Structure 1
Amino acid sequence: MTNQHRIGSRQSERKLVHAPADARAGFSRMRVQVVDLSATGVRLRTYDRLPVGKRFWIKLAGLEAQECEVIWECDFDSGCRFLRPLDAAVFREIVNAGRLQPPNARHFAYV
C-alpha cells in the first residue's frame, strides 16, 4: 500500500466499535470484544492475553470468518491484522449499517 493511502500512521481508516465476536484457534474457541475495526485489522479485548504472532479466525457479524495475526498486545488488548484485508466497500457497509454495534455490547465471555 502506498503512503498516499495511509491515514496518519495507519494503513486504513479505523472506526471505534463495541461488539462481541467469536474467535477460534484450532479447537479453542472464545468470545472477544471488538474495540475498533479497519479494513486491514481489528483491536480486540479478551480475558487472556493473545501472544504476538498467534494466528486465529474471527467471525464478525455479517461476514465470513477472517484469519488474523496478533501484531501487538498490551494487557488484555490485542492489535490484529487480517491476513486478507476487507474490501473497502464491505468495510464501509459494515460501519454504516452499524452491524457491529449491538445495544448491549459491553459483555463478553468465553464460550
Structure 2
Amino acid sequence: LNNLPMLPEKFEVKVSSNSGIQKQFNIIKGLFEKAEVIINCGDAGQEGELIQRWVMNEAHYKGEVKRLWISSLTSEAIKEGFENLKPASDYDNLYYAGFSRAIGDWLLGINATRLFTVK
C-alpha cells in the first residue's frame, strides 16, 4: 500500500494493438486525411463527444469539424440536425467534462482496487 496513490505521469489514449482494430482505425485515418470537413455524428452526450474526439485526436486530424446533435432518429430530426450543424468548439466543455470523468474513473478504480485487494 506504500505505492498509493498510483498516478501516471500523463494520461493518454492509444489505439488497441488488435490487428482488426488497427486496420479499421487506419481506414478512418486515411479518410480523415482526404477530408476538408468532418461531421461528428457521435452520440449526443458526453460519452459520444469523448469517443469521437479521441478518434480524431489519435488520427491527428487538424481540419474543420462540425457537430451533428440529434436525440431522435426520425427522418425529420436527422434532416433538421444536418441543417443546423454547429462548430465542434461549441462542445469543447462537454469533451473536457468527459475526459475529466474518464481520468477520475481510472484514478478511483485503480487505487480503490489496490487498496481493497492488497493485504
State the TM-score, normalizing by the size of structure 1: 0.29
From the two aligned structures, give the one with the greater helix fraction. Answer: 2
Instruction: With the length of structure 2 as denominator, give the TM-score of the two structures.
Output: 0.28
Q: Which has the larger radius of gyration?
A: 2
**Higher strand share goes to which structure?**
1
